[in-house]
Chains A and B, each alone.
Chain A
C-alpha cells in the first residue's frame, strides 16, 4: 500500500482517541488549594481531575454568581457525531479517494475544529460573564464595568485569588496528529503523482 494511503488511514483513526482521552483541561490554582482544582473536558463529558473538583469549582464560583458547570451540553452529542463522521469520511477517502480529497478532508477538519474552538470560547465567555444579579460578591473593573471571570481560551490568567490554566490535552494532540497525518498524506500523494 502506498505511504500516503497508510497515513490517511492514520488520519482517520487518530481522532478516535478523543473518546478515550480528554480534549482540554482547565485548572485553578489558589493558596488554599495545594492540590489545584481541575476539570477535564472530553468531547462528551466534563470530568473531575480529582474527585469532586467540579462540585468544588461550582461552590467557589457561586460566590461571584457564576452558573454551575452543566452536567451535559448539546456539544456532547454533536462533537462525537462530528468526530465519528469525519473518521468514516477519512476512511472512505483513504479507500477510494485521491490525494486531493485528503486536502479537502483536512480543510473541512480545520474548519470544524475552528468552529469547535469558537464554540468553546462562546461557552467560556457566557460562563464567565452571565452572572447572577443576586451574586454574593460583585467585582468591578477599574473602569467601573462588571468584572467577568472567563477562563483563558489557551494559556494562563489570574482571576482574583485563582490562577487559571487552560491547555489542550492528549485527545487534542491525537486530533492534531490526525490532521498532520492527512497533510503529510497529501504531500506524499502529490509527490507520488
Chain B
C-alpha cells in the first residue's frame, strides 16, 4: 500500500513539473521549421498521401483526415446521432442505433481498425467499437458510411475492441468490465469469482457481413486492449488485463496491488475448431444486429436471441496467461508476429513477450500456477526483453516495419522510439500534452507504412487559441523517416482523438462511390422520375413521394393536409452527378433536415400542429437557383373536407 502511494506521489509530482515546465519549453522549441512546413504542405487541388480515420472518443463518431496535411474531410456518424446528416433522425437510419436497451443516440467510439488481407491493409472497411453500450460498427469505405452495427451481449465497457485478424476472419471485441453472465440481481461485493469477462469473436464474411460466432467466458478481470497475432502468430489473439485482483470498488488502488497482471493469449483457431465441431453452449441472449442497405437506402434492426459461449477450461491448449507487470494497457504485436508488447502503465519498464518462447513454454509445460483453471506461464520463460527506463506511464506501441517501435508515455507526455530485439531507446520527442494512442498507417499490420506517426493528445492547454473552459484535443504529426523523429504539425480534432487507423489513399480513393444509381434504388417509397410524384393518404398518415432535382421539388404545392396528420416526406434526389446533394427541411418538424445524395431516398416525419401555409426548402446550397428551391404545404383544420392535391407549376 505504502509503495503505491509513494509511486502516485512521484507521478503527481512529475505531472505538475511537466505541465509547469512545458509552458516555457514548447515555445522555445518552435518545432515548425520551414522544412517541416514544406513536408506537410499539400498544394491546393492536390491530394494527401494517406487517409487517417480518427475516432472521436466521446463524440461517438469517426473523423476522416488527410495526412500529412491534417485537413479534415468528413465526420462519419457512427454511434451518435448527427443532425447534419440526419443520422438517427431520418426514418432510414433510426434502426442503426437500436439496441437491446432501445434507441440510443450516443456512444463512446474508440478503436478504428482497417480490414486486412494476408496481414496487410486492404482498404475495404473500418471497424470501430462503441464502448458504453457494447457494439461494433462497420464503415464501408466505398461510401464512407456506417453500414452495420452489432451489439455485444454479456459485455460492458467494450474496450479491448475492435481489432481484426490477419484476413479479417474475425473482428474481436473484449469486455473491459466483467459482469454477471447472465446478468442477474446479486450483491456487488460477490464480484470475485462470480463475474465473467466475455471475449467476443465476430466473424466477417467475404462480403463483410458480421455475425457473433462465439464468446470466450474468461475470469472476471478487466480486458483492456488487444491485438491479433500475425505471420507466425496468426491464429492467436492477445489481450491485456488489469484488475486481476477482481476488486469491485476504488479500483485505482485496489486494482493496482498485484505486481503482475496478465496478457491473455487466446488460440482462436483452436476454439474455432472446437465450436465448428459442435463445442460450446448456446445461451439465451438479446442483442441487436443492424444492417444498412445501399439499395433500399434503409436500415433494418434484428434482435438476436442466442449466443454461443465457450468455457476456456473445456478447450485444452486454447488459453494461457502471460504475467505482465503492473496493469498493462496497450497490447501490441510487431509486424513479424514474434513480439507481444505489454505496456504496464504503472511499471518502470516496457515488457516484450516472445511468441516463440511462449510456444516453447507451453510445449514444455513451464507453468507457474493457474487462474480459474487457465494455465499461467512463467514470466521469465516468455520474456523476450524489456525496454528499461523508457518513460513514465507507457500506453501504446506501433511499428514502422524497419525494426523500430514507437511507444507513447502518458505521464511523461512523449513518444519514444526504440529498437525491437536490442530494446535500446533511440529517440524521444515530447507531445503537447499527455498522449494516449499513436498511429502509423498500417502500424499494427504485417506491412506498416513507416513515414509518419500521429500522436493523439488528451490535453492541449495553451497550444491553440483558447475557446473557453473546453479547448480542443489534438493530434500531432511526426516524420519518422530519419533516425530521429521530427515534429511537423499540430492539428485539432473532433471530440477525443482516441485512436486512429491510417491507410495509403491509393488503396481507398479509386473505390470511392460518386453517387448512387437511381435505377438501383429499391427504397419502397422511391420514385424513379419526378413524374411519378404523388401524395397518398392512409387514415391520418400521409405519404408524400417527392422528387428533387436542380432546382425544384416535385410537387412543391401540396394541399389537403390536416392538423393531426402524420406526414411522411419520402424524398428522392434525382440527380445523377458527382457532388450534387440536396437537402430538405420543413418549418416546425421535430427532427433534423435531410441531406440526400444523388440517387438516394430519405424520409422525415412532420406532424403539423397549426393550420396555415407552411414552407419547406432545400438546405444544401445546390445550384445557382438554390434559394428558389422551396415549396408550400397548406394545413387545414382537422375536420376540413379539402381533398389532397399536389402540383408543380400548376400541373
Report yes or no: A63 in contact with B549, Cβ–Cβ below 8 A: no
A192 at the interface (CB under 8 A from B): no
B550 at the interface (CB under 8 A from A): yes
Report yes or no: A55 in contact with B624, Cβ–Cβ below 8 A: no
B576 at the interface (CB under 8 A from A): yes
Contact mask for chain B residues 488-519; partner A; CB cutoff 8 A; 1 contact, 0 none: 00000000000000000000000000000000
Question: A55 contacts which chain B residues (CB < 8 A)?
Answer: 576-577
Question: A136 contacts which chain B residues (CB < 8 A)?
Answer: 625
Known: A59-B549, A59-B550. A52 touches B576 (CB 8 A): yes
Report yes or no: A63 in contact with B625, Cβ–Cβ below 8 A: yes
Question: A59 contacts which chain B residues (CB < 8 A)?
Answer: 549-550, 575, 577
Question: A137 contacts which chain B residues (CB < 8 A)?
Answer: 624
Report yes or no: A51 in contact with B576, Cβ–Cβ below 8 A: yes
Contact mask for chain B residues 542-557; partner A; CB cutoff 8 A; 1 contact, 0 none: 0000000110000000
Q: How many residues of B contact A (CB 8 A)?
A: 8
Report yes or no: B577 in contact with A52, Cβ–Cβ below 8 A: yes
A56 at the interface (CB under 8 A from B): yes
Q: Which of A21-77 contact B (CB under 8 A)?
A: 35, 51-52, 55-56, 59, 63
Smallest CB gap from A56: residue in B: B577
Contact mask for chain A residues 136-176; partner B; CB cutoff 8 A; 1 contact, 0 none: 11000000000000000000000000000000000000000
Question: A51 contacts which chain B residues (CB < 8 A)?
Answer: 576
Q: Which of B253-301 contact A (CB under 8 A)?
A: none
A56 to B576, CA, bound (A): 8
The total of Cβ contacts below 8 Å across the A-B interface reads: 16
Report yes or no: A63 in contact with B576, Cβ–Cβ below 8 A: no
A171 to B575, CA, bound (A): 31
Smallest CB gap from B549: residue in A: A59
Smallest CB gap from A53: residue in B: B577
A152 to B58, CA, bound (A): 58
Smallest CB gap from B598: residue in A: A52
Smallest CB gap from A34: residue in B: B578
A52 to B580, CA, bound (A): 13
Question: A56 contacts which chain B residues (CB < 8 A)?
Answer: 576-577
A67 to B550, CA, bound (A): 15
Contact mask for chain B residues 95-135; partner A; CB cutoff 8 A; 1 contact, 0 none: 00000000000000000000000000000000000000000
Min CB gap A69→B, angstroms: 15
A55 to B515, CA, bound (A): 14
Question: A52 contacts which chain B residues (CB < 8 A)?
Answer: 576-577
Smallest CB gap from A55: residue in B: B576
Question: B550 contacts which chain A residues (CB < 8 A)?
Answer: 59
Min CB gap B549→A, angstroms: 7
Contact mask for chain A residues 62-102; partner B; CB cutoff 8 A; 1 contact, 0 none: 01000000000000000000000000000000000000000
A62 to B575, CA, bound (A): 14
Question: B625 contacts which chain A residues (CB < 8 A)?
Answer: 63, 136
Question: B577 contacts which chain A residues (CB < 8 A)?
Answer: 52, 55-56, 59
A56 to B598, CA, bound (A): 12
Question: A35 contacts which chain B residues (CB < 8 A)?
Answer: 578
Most buried by B among A35, A55, A137: A55
Smallest CB gap from B579: residue in A: A32
A56 to B580, CA, bound (A): 11
Question: B575 contacts which chain A residues (CB < 8 A)?
Answer: 59
A35 to B578, CA, bound (A): 10
A55 to B624, CA, bound (A): 18
Smallest CB gap from B575: residue in A: A59
Contact mask for chain B residues 566-585; partner A; CB cutoff 8 A; 1 contact, 0 none: 00000000011110000000
Smallest CB gap from A35: residue in B: B578
Q: Which of B560-614 contact A (CB under 8 A)?
A: 575-578
A55 to B578, CA, bound (A): 13
Smallest CB gap from B517: residue in A: A51
A35 to B576, CA, bound (A): 14
A52 to B577, CA, bound (A): 7
Smallest CB gap from A134: residue in B: B649
Question: B578 contacts which chain A residues (CB < 8 A)?
Answer: 35
A30 to B625, CA, bound (A): 18
Min CB gap B512→A, angstroms: 14
Smallest CB gap from B45: residue in A: A34
Smallest CB gap from B518: residue in A: A52
Min CB gap A92→B, angstroms: 45
Question: B624 contacts which chain A residues (CB < 8 A)?
Answer: 63, 137
A91 to B575, CA, bound (A): 48
Min CB gap B572→A, angstroms: 15
Most buried by B among A51, A52, A56: A52
A110 to B175, CA, bound (A): 81
Smallest CB gap from B649: residue in A: A134
Min CB gap A119→B, angstroms: 30
A77 to B543, CA, bound (A): 44
Contact mask for chain A residues 171-192; partner B; CB cutoff 8 A; 1 contact, 0 none: 0000000000000000000000
Min CB gap A61→B, angstroms: 11
Question: B576 contacts which chain A residues (CB < 8 A)?
Answer: 51-52, 55-56
Min CB gap B516→A, angstroms: 12
Smallest CB gap from A136: residue in B: B625
Contact mask for chain B residues 607-641; partner A; CB cutoff 8 A; 1 contact, 0 none: 00000000000000000110000000000000000
Most buried by A among B575, B578, B625: B578
Most buried by B among A35, A55, A59: A59
A59 to B574, CA, bound (A): 11
Given contacts A52-B577, A55-B576, 9 further A-B contacts (CB under 8 A): A35-B578, A51-B576, A52-B576, A59-B549, A59-B575, A59-B577, A63-B625, A136-B625, A137-B624
Closest 7 pairs (CB-CB, A-B): A52-B576, A56-B577, A59-B550, A55-B576, A136-B625, A52-B577, A63-B624
Q: Can you list 14 A-B contacts (CB < 8 A)?
A: A35-B578, A51-B576, A52-B576, A52-B577, A55-B576, A55-B577, A56-B576, A56-B577, A59-B549, A59-B575, A59-B577, A63-B625, A136-B625, A137-B624
